[in-house]
Amino acid sequence: MSTFCLITTTFPDEQSAKTVIQFLLEQKLAACIQMQTVQSFYTWEGEQCKSHEQLLLIKTRSALFKKIEEIILKHHPYTTPQLIQIPIEEGHKAYLNWIEEETTTD
């Protein structure tokens, strides 16, 4: 299992995304979170949909995924939010060390 990962999720608006970002950073569950506006196309309840959303890219330790998942699900307005963990197999050593230093081990 990889030590570090990238977690992706989307939020319908900037405010709800920023609320979760602030909480994850304060709890030291993520070292860095990037947010950008994206246009999503998907099928929901049998209908084709499109919407502007805030995509979050969360850099953290793989061991923290379950805690992050719990927080996102608790505060997310969607009933079925995107929540995907992508292992980081390799990266710049100094950057990975920084993620390790900035996140909790609990």
Query: What is the structure's pLDDT at 100?
Result: 96
pTM exceeds cut of 0.75: yes
Rounded Cα distance, 85 and 83, in Å:
7
Lookup result for tokens 């929540």: 83
Can you tell me the mean pLDDT for 11-25? Answer: 97
Domains of the chain: 4-102 (3.30.70.120)
